[in-house]
Structure 1
Amino acid sequence: MSDFFDPGRWKPAPFLPASDARDGALTFVIAVLCFLACLTALGVIAADRASRGWTDQLTGEATVVVRPKSNETPDSAAARAAETLAGVPGVTEARAIEADKAEALIAPWLGDVADLEDLPVPRLVAVVLDPQTPASKRDMDRALKSQGLDALVDDHSAWMADIQRSAGMTRWIGAAIFLMIAAAAGAVVAFATRAGMAARREVVEVLHLTGAEDAFIARLFQTRFALMAARAGLLGAGAAAIVGAGLRLAGGGAGLTPVLPVAWSDLLAVLPCPLVAAAVAAVAARATAAALIRELV
């Protein structure tokens, strides 16, 4: 008799069950997609940081190739060029690179050359520019020509353009991958919604006959799959954060590799993942449920 007076015994059953046999597989698929999306975001952030670091480094430096004339030695020409550039406004430091270091720089391009003394190896001058008001290539060219020096100024603009172009391509590719993953998650949720509504066709018809609005019925499926996607997003984001932390710990201050320097602050990028996953699932489930309700009733 005690069960007869138990309020839980007479509590109406939910229109949708709290769990389904397919929930585990669906949660796993969405979690994997969220994991891949978070890794993509971490990779794009790290690549963008690397490109900005390289650009800043190249922006603050320049290299001058000095070709000695017939009446002077390469070392004296490089020293004179360094002295001239040191007086140009916007140049912090100008230093002639020693002959052995210059030969070491060109050795990879020439191969195993035993003796480079007979070759007309130019001398290099490393220039450090003022980060606030750097000297322009034109100013340095004008100063060198005024001293009768045959020199070529490389302000690394070509390299910076390549780096910036590569960084832009990385961002666009990362955004495309993220959108594809979001579309795949939406498709998975739409398929699960369609299967769930097909299995509960009678429930949907009864609800509709009793006066339930289509929006109310669609909201049942929307809430169910949004909560499921939020849990899956939390799992995927957590796994991605663990991988990112492992890469950061394995690589030290510069990350695992200078190409992808992962910072601790990058791990914050995975925080919106559960909300984004829930939003994508909610939109996909509601749109699919609304369309199927019109077909079923």
Structure 2
Amino acid sequence: MARRRHSRDPLGLRRALSGLLLPGLVAAMALLAALALAGAQGAAALAERWQRGAAAAVTVQIPDADAARVQRALVTLRAMPEVADAQAMDPQRLAALLRPWLGAAPSIPVPGVIELRLRDSRVDPVLIGDRLAQAVPGALVEAHGLWVQRLAALARSLQALALVVLVLVGLVAAAVVAVATRAGLAARRDAIEVLHGLGARDGDIAGRFARRVGLLAAGGAVVGTAAAVPALALLIDLAGPWLGSAGAMDSLTGLPWPGLVALPPVAFLVGWATAQATVRRWLHRLP
């Protein structure tokens, strides 16, 4: 039995590349990569939601609001072809929004508020405001396009930053694998030199190292990815109001599952390719 095991592992890689250091480091890298993937997906979802939703939203304020003025404003707005929908904000909801600043019973008159949704976010709200002011003097139109553009730009910047973090994580993981491979080469230098002197091909030696390192890296990535899932689900649940989702099922389905599932195979490929390159470069330097 001992001879059979030795024949399957003539370089003693199970001893040279054993322990939890490499899988543990790769698990940490996979955890960071999972967080970066979720960050990139969340930033993209936020940018799309803001651009499609809030960018087309417009608020109309009616000073000295009474039922007749608000109704006249609604009729005028709904008759405009650029307006997809116009709804007067419920006074109780308006009071709830103003309560943190004005208290439970505001001492100043509160204007009536109408929420609009435009058919096209590129429509100039100033033109709508001018036509509305002719029918309802004093009406003010406030568009949210400027701050929506800024928030969307911020979300795109966060998405780009998350992708940069992914690249950095991949480079760090490759460096960690290269260091671990060199340590394994140093530990089994005598056995490698003997086999190399007996005619073992560089591809065979590098392939054994690459398979061992790739499996260790993939195992670490599985652990790191599994550890990231609960944390990501919690973050998505907390971000539900901004992403338009709620509930545990939405938290799980909102995870970047394609990217998470791909992490262990990618870790195997990074480990395998890095070990191959490292071992071949080392073997080429042998006399």
Flag whether TM exceeds 0.5 (same fold): yes
Alpha-carbon displacement from aligned partner over 1:165-215 (angstroms, at most 9, x marks no partner): 121122122112222222221111111111111122223323333333434
AA partner of residue 41 (structure 2)? I
**2:42 aligned to which of 39, 46, 57:** 46
Q: Once the 2 structures are TM-superposed, how far is the Cα of residue 266 of structure 1 from its aligned partner?
A: 1.8
**1:293 aligned to which of 269, 283, 286:** 283
Distance 1:86 1:135, change over 3 A: farther
Distance 1:263 1:43, change over 3 A: farther
- What is the TM-score when the length of structure 1 is the normalising length? 0.77
Q: Which residue of 2 aligns with 1:92?
A: 84
Q: Once the 2 structures are TM-superposed, how far is the Cα of residue 270 of structure 1 from its aligned partner?
A: 0.9
Structure 2 residues without counterparts, runs of 5 or longer: 246-250
**1:187 aligned to which of 175, 178, 200:** 175
Higher mean C-alpha displacement, 41-50 vs 257-266: 257-266
Percent of residue pairs bearing the same amino acid type = 30
Distance 1:87 1:210, change over 3 A: same
1:16 aligned onto 2:11: yes
Distance 1:159 1:286, change over 3 A: same
Aligned length: 277
Alpha-carbon displacement from aligned partner over 1:79-112 (angstroms, at most 9, x marks no partner): 4322211110142332344667556545545679
- What is the TM-score when the length of structure 2 is the normalising length? 0.79
What is the root-mean-square deviation in Å for CA atoms of aligned residues? 3.4
Structure 1 residues without counterparts, runs of 5 or longer: 1-5, 249-253
1:275 aligned onto 2:275: no
1:65 aligned onto 2:56: no
Q: 2: CA distance between counterparts of 1:105 and 1:12? A: 75
Larger Rg computed on CA atoms: 1
1:224 aligned onto 2:219: no
Aligned partners of 1:47 and 1:167 also within 8 Å = yes
Higher mean C-alpha displacement, 84-93 vs 12-21: 12-21
Q: 1: CA distance between counterparts of 2:74 and 2:209? A: 73
1:129 aligned onto 2:121: no
Q: Which residue of 2 aligns with 1:74?
A: 65
